[in-house]
Structure 1
Amino acid sequence: MYLTTKDGVRLYAEEAGAGTPILFVHEFGGNHASWEPQMRFFARRHRVITYAARGYPPSDVPEDVESYSQAIAVQDALAVLDGLGIAKAHIVGLSMGGFATVHFGLTAPERALSLTVAGAGYGCEKEHEDYFRQVSLDVADNFERQGAAAFSKVYGLGASRVQFQNKDPRGWQEFSDRLATHHDKGAALTMRGVQARRPSFWDLEDGLKRMAVPTLVMVGDEDDHCLQPGIFLKKTIPACGLAVFPKSGHTLNLEEPDLFNSLLAEFIAQVEAGRWLPRDPRALPGQIMRTS
């Protein structure tokens, strides 16, 4: 199906199942099909929705970089929910989609039953912020000049992707083949408009401290530039849990689908039971042992 955003962009979406809605928001290196292991698993007891971000066919590919931004990504997620008549949903995002999920919670907390933020953090570390912005522009240029079919062979073997290849060569190949089908211009504009311009989590600290939405952060222990941002989110968002996947990289939902699905299912169950609560005020971060 196609749903239309406020600025007239058509977004391709798929849904399955019935029950409490879950909206899956994909990463830069994937698309709507990247969530297939989750769509199949959670459709057993939920209404599950996945969609292709703008710039990712079969969704539209606007030609202007100003049509791509972190704020627009949130508005697109809301447009999908609005188009389907969904008032509230569990929002689940990976990487670029994880950033969109965080901003969804800051922008429209009343529309989120919960937030799951997986593999999000690139560009957040203040000491690497300038480098990340520049390398994002370089990646954009490479997608535009070389094309996704060629550049995917480089991008898909990043330092936090090889774990997936080592564990599951067939699954990684499927990921790589999907990456090769990216729209050359759409990928470049997404890198320039969304990735290279998004704010660090540290810049959002005040809002994150006030964000009451139940949140689960997932990160791979070899996804180095997401580890510290993940810990920061855990310490900053009041009702936040942190799950670290051992010997894992960036593409968590595909690299470790069983563990991802299990943790997400338990999280959603606790949220729906009203049992995913803010941190107990007695759990003082600075206390090592209580003496009195």
Structure 2
Amino acid sequence: MPFATADDGVKLHYEETGSGTPIIFVHEYAGDHRSWEPQMRFFGRRYRAITYAARGFPPSDVPEDVASYSQARAADDILAVLDHLKIDTAHIVGLSMGGFATLHFGFRHAARARSLCIAGCGYGAEPDKQVQFKGEADAVAAAIKAEGMKSFSQKYAYGPTRVQYENKDPRGFAEFKQQLSEHSDTGSANTQLGVQRERPSLFSLVDQMKTLRVPSLIVTGDEDWPCLLPGVLMKQNIPTAALAVVPNSGHTLNIEEPDEFNRVLMNFLTHVESGRWPTRDPRAESKSITGIKG
């Protein structure tokens, strides 16, 4: 079983398939490296497709100390996998927690990213939701410690932006719920406290977004309410960003609507690889609504 080692000694399990330009897939909190199977199979036919289990998610190491978990470490763990595989640059694709890590990877290691696909990114990002989100992260961690993931997963899987997946694909949802129940109690609680709870609001990162020049694609489901406005925020402030909204879809986009997710991502990658992905025309940033001043 292959592992990359982070700079603090934490071992990260990874998997890869295919050959060619590298893509690395970074999973969400309720998923793990297995969540990207539809993308590994599809993109592995055309690219060198890589995914890994974040720290705290077996078979990667599960540090006991909450201090081993942070937003910065989540971004730097992507770099650790790339360095281990001796990859200079790669397309980085992340969902939710992985989307935040992907964005921060762009801030911290822009020269190593061929592109950024930031999907389902925004939980707790709005300024008036920060206190609520931190409180819910505390509650999630406490419940995991009290009940264990096997029990807690039966509630967490039915969040308001995940029920769409069950309605569309009960069989796929059952697999998602089963995999969630297998997560580490310690790793899941520590990730909530160290990464989710403490990450900065996207609205405090606007100045960094404006300097980002890596080709970027923002993807969200139209029923993923916590991510809609943050998605628009990133579109508005990252000069190289496009925004794709998937209709009638919730948070677990890449497995809820794998064909649409793959189509949108493939279109993006094709444009990037051909050198045709644009930076926003400054004329589109006029303060005028129509372009004609009254």
TM-score of the two chains, using structure 1 as the length reference = 0.98
| 1:279 matched to 2:276 | no
User: Take 1:95 and 1:284, find their aligned partners in 2: how far apart are those partners?
Assistant: 28
C-alpha deviations, 1:37-73, integer Å up to 9, x for none? 0000001110010000000000000000000000001
| 1:163 matched to 2:182 | no
| 1:73 matched to 2:64 | no
The residue that corresponds to 1:41 in the other structure is 42
Cα deviation for residue 285 of structure 1 reads 5.2
The residue that corresponds to 2:128 in the other structure is 127
SS of the residue aligned with 1:282? Answer: helix
Q: How many residues align?
A: 292
Q: Share of identical aligned residues, percent? A: 56
User: Take 1:7 and 1:169, find their aligned partners in 2: how far apart are those partners?
Assistant: 40
| 1:99 matched to 2:96 | no
SS of the residue aligned with 2:116? Answer: strand
The residue that corresponds to 1:12 in the other structure is 13
SS of the residue aligned with 2:283? Answer: coil
C-alpha deviations, 1:238-269, integer Å up to 9, x for none? 00000011110000000000000000001001
C-alpha deviations, 1:123-158, integer Å up to 9, x for none? 100001011011011101111111111010100000
User: Take 2:222 and 2:270, find their aligned partners in 1: how far apart are those partners?
Assistant: 25
User: Take 1:291 and 1:113, find their aligned partners in 2: how far apart are those partners?
Assistant: 38
Stretch of structure 1 that moved more, 273-282 or 255-264 = 273-282
Stretch of structure 1 that moved more, 154-163 or 137-146 = 137-146
User: Take 1:66 and 1:21, find their aligned partners in 2: how far apart are those partners?
Assistant: 31
Match for 1:174: what amino acid?
A: E
| 1:248 matched to 2:249 | yes
Stretch of structure 1 that moved more, 275-284 or 178-187 = 275-284
The residue that corresponds to 1:268 in the other structure is 269
The residue that corresponds to 1:229 in the other structure is 230
The residue that corresponds to 1:207 in the other structure is 208
SS of the residue aligned with 1:91? Answer: strand
Match for 1:274: what amino acid?
A: G
The residue that corresponds to 1:220 in the other structure is 221
Could you list the runs of 5+ residues in structure 2 that have no partner in the other structure? Answer: none
The residue that corresponds to 2:190 in the other structure is 189
Match for 2:123: what amino acid?
A: Y
| 1:174 matched to 2:175 | yes
C-alpha deviations, 1:78-112, integer Å up to 9, x for none? 00000001010000000000000000000000000
Cα deviation for residue 291 of structure 1 reads 3.5
User: Take 2:116 and 2:234, find their aligned partners in 1: how far apart are those partners?
Assistant: 12
TM-score of the two chains, using structure 2 as the length reference = 0.98
User: Take 1:142 and 1:111, find their aligned partners in 2: how far apart are those partners?
Assistant: 38
| 1:85 matched to 2:86 | yes
Structure 1 291/261 Cα, relative in aligned 2: closer, same or farther at 3 Å? same
SS of the residue aligned with 1:283? Answer: helix
User: Take 1:4 and 1:244, find their aligned partners in 2: how far apart are those partners?
Assistant: 36
Cα deviation for residue 288 of structure 1 reads 2.8
User: Take 2:98 and 2:90, find their aligned partners in 1: how far apart are those partners?
Assistant: 15
The residue that corresponds to 1:60 in the other structure is 61
User: Take 2:288 and 2:224, find their aligned partners in 1: how far apart are those partners?
Assistant: 29
